[in-house]
Chain A
Amino acid sequence: MPTSSTDNLILNRRSRWSRFRANRLAVAGLIVFVSILLIVIVTLPWTVHWYNVQSLDHAVRATPTAHPAVPYQAFNNALQDSRLISWPGLSRFIWQATSWMGHDDLGRSLFHRILPATLLSLIIGGCAAFVAVVLGSTWGATAALLGGRVDAVMMRMVDVLYSLPYILTVILMKVALTRPLSSLFDGHAIPANLLILVLAIGSVSWLTLARVVRGQVLSLRKQPFVEAARANGASTLYLLRHHILPNVAGPIVVYATLVVPQAILQESFLSFLGIGVQQPIPSLGRLAADGVEAVNAFVGFWWLIAFPCSALVVTLIALNFMGDGIRDALDPKSSQAPMI
């Protein structure tokens, strides 16, 4: 029965969405992720003023008994300064709702550090994944399209890069990029630092994608519809734009959603080493690593490790559940085995 290609596409899209919806874990991940994203974006106008406000009178002491609440007066002052809320009733409500997470060794409200930290981690993860996707798919597609000796050399380079220890490469990339980029951004240490982080993480995460994209493009080139288009006189560029790229988009999207949590994890690892996001800017990894250090020094500040780590783990799990669901939805082959 002949069907036009658009019909097929719509049918496909519907069945993909229904497959995704059938995966309860993936839907839960999507819901959690969207709510996290909404919360951190909506609260950004407040948290951006509040995340670094210190009240040293209420900083955690060496022997804490219970985690101290954020002092209302300091909180209210900062809110008034930010000129976003001028109604005391609302600010008292926000204070009551947010002080349960306690605050850190400089008396900064942990709640108001975790919210922008989550957004920053997501941005770092997203940008690093973008860098990895651009690098990896360009590399893989170029290798597959040029073919022959160029292909062999390009893929051997990927093999060689695979056999470098990954941790060392990230650190060396970070160190190598720091000087040129810092001078480029002179005076703006924070954006330079973030860009360096994103480039360093992205530039080590593209290898697998290059292999995946190359394999996909190679198999697509031999598909009858591509050969038919070629026989009709389509140019390579036309083939790439109209036939190859739309069909490789699926695996790329799948891989990208799985690179984001990996990149966030890597940023947390770099923060653990002390070369991630620099103080006072919070990222989830930075907060978790700080918490781990505080707990190692004086056991007892449980909230410094419990809340940032929970935020990090919940975000990563939501992303991973979602990515898994997207992969299953786009690649139904993996879930067609009969039950025993």
Chain B
Amino acid sequence: MIRPLARRLVWALTTLIVVYVITFVMVVMVPGNPFQQSDRSMPIEVEHALRARYSMDNNWLYFWEFLGGAVRLDFGPSFTYNDWTCTQIVSQALPISAMIGVLAILFAVLVGVPLGVISAARRNSWLDVSIVSGVLIGISLPTFVSGVVLLTVFAVAWPILPIGGWGTIKHLPLPVITLSLPFIAYICRLTRSAMLDVLGSDYIRTALAKGVSPHQVIWTHALKVAFLPVLSYLGPATAQAVTGSFVVEKVFGVPGMGQHFVNAALNADAGLIMSTVLVFSVLLIFLNLAIDVLYAWLDPRIGLTI
């Protein structure tokens, strides 16, 4: 257990470094100038001075400087948000996105798994058909449409929730539900197909033959195994949800992390691009690692492989 874990850790760090190198190369190669984004352009001498100040005139130096800072969680200044360091931006936005994201994933699991189980257990019934259709609609609906629909219904037509913003508990439900809709759809679909596979296996037939109630067979014997694919989906899903969604933040006016991914890329803000990528990759890689460890613990036949 220890040796494969150590090997996985080394591999995780290697991936992280490769991700950093790729992002750096993209940032350097992609055209765009973070210093000339606003309408008031600065004199070229000022730009040169700024580039020299942040070691951006020498890519090699900048590469090492940013990496050295990132190790100490110091991501340097943002080039579009004046007077802000990237660390400040991330540490302000990430908790907000994380709160919405974790709640959305929890909600998605609590709704998606039971729906998938019911759908598989009553295969081809009208309930199954309507759940499967609902799932496909959930996958097909762009978030900006479902968000606006929810906003119109629950904040305009029937004003029980605020129209947008952040700060009180009443600001939570709409963004959380909007963000969770596609996750509910995927989790329900995964659970359904895994349940269909499991329900066909011999041990389920044995349990039923021995007189265990179908209810218990489905919800304990079968779900235990059928949950595993959902578990491995939860790694990337959580990383994605926790780092925020641009659309949800824009529709509901939430000051989260998702907007920074988009704005940093659009503004060619080198420091912020690399900080957001590193935050996302660290989350993704270590969540995946954690889930693989959990997987190996739940199903000892699998074990930890690289």
Contacts and interface: CB of A to CB of B under 8 A. Distances in A.
Interface in B109-143: 120-121, 123-124, 129, 132-133, 136-137, 139-142
Given A163-B285, A337-B196, A338-B200, A273 B145 contact: no
A2 to B, nearest CB: 30
A296 B132 CA distance: 32
Interface residues of A, number: 50
Interface string B13-48: 001001100110011011110000000000000000
Contacts, number: 143
A167 interface: yes
Nearest to B143: A269
Nearest to B260: A168
Interface string B273-297: 1001100110011000000000000
Contacts of A337: 120, 123, 196-200
Contacts of B30: 172, 175-176
Contacts of B200: 336-338
Contact of B193 (A163, A317, A334): A334
A160 B32 CA distance: 25
B246 interface: yes
Given A167-B262, A320-B139, A334-B197, A340 B22 contact: no
Interface string A154-181: 0000011111110111011001101100
B197 A305 contact: no
Nearest to B215: A340
Contacts of A178: 31
B145 A168 contact: no
Nearest to B205: A338
A171 B18 contact: no
Interface residues of B, number: 60
A305 B148 contact: yes
Given A175-B30, A176-B26, A272-B247, A288 B145 contact: yes
A109 interface: no
A164 B243 CA distance: 12
B142 A176 contact: no
A95 B123 CA distance: 47
Contacts of A336: 200
B3 to A, nearest CB: 19
Contact of B277 (A161, A162, A164, A335): A164
Contact of B199 (A160, A320, A338): A338
A253 interface: no
Interface stretch (A110-118, A224-232, A308-316): A308-316
- Chain A contact residues, majority secondary structure: helix
A313 B145 CA distance: 9
Contacts of A169: 26
B99 interface: no
A292 interface: yes
A289 interface: yes
A252 to B, nearest CB: 20
Contacts of A319: 140
The 7 closest A-B pairs by CB, nearest first: A316-B140, A337-B200, A171-B265, A337-B196, A165-B280, A176-B30, A320-B136
Interface of B: 15, 18-19, 22-23, 26-27, 29-32, 120-121, 123-124, 129, 132-133, 136-137, 139-142, 144-145, 148, 152, 156, 193, 196-200, 205, 208, 214, 217-218, 236, 243, 246-247, 250-251, 258, 261-262, 264-266, 268, 273, 276-277, 280-281, 284-285
6 contacts: A164-B277, A175-B30, A265-B140, A299-B152, A320-B136, A339-B124
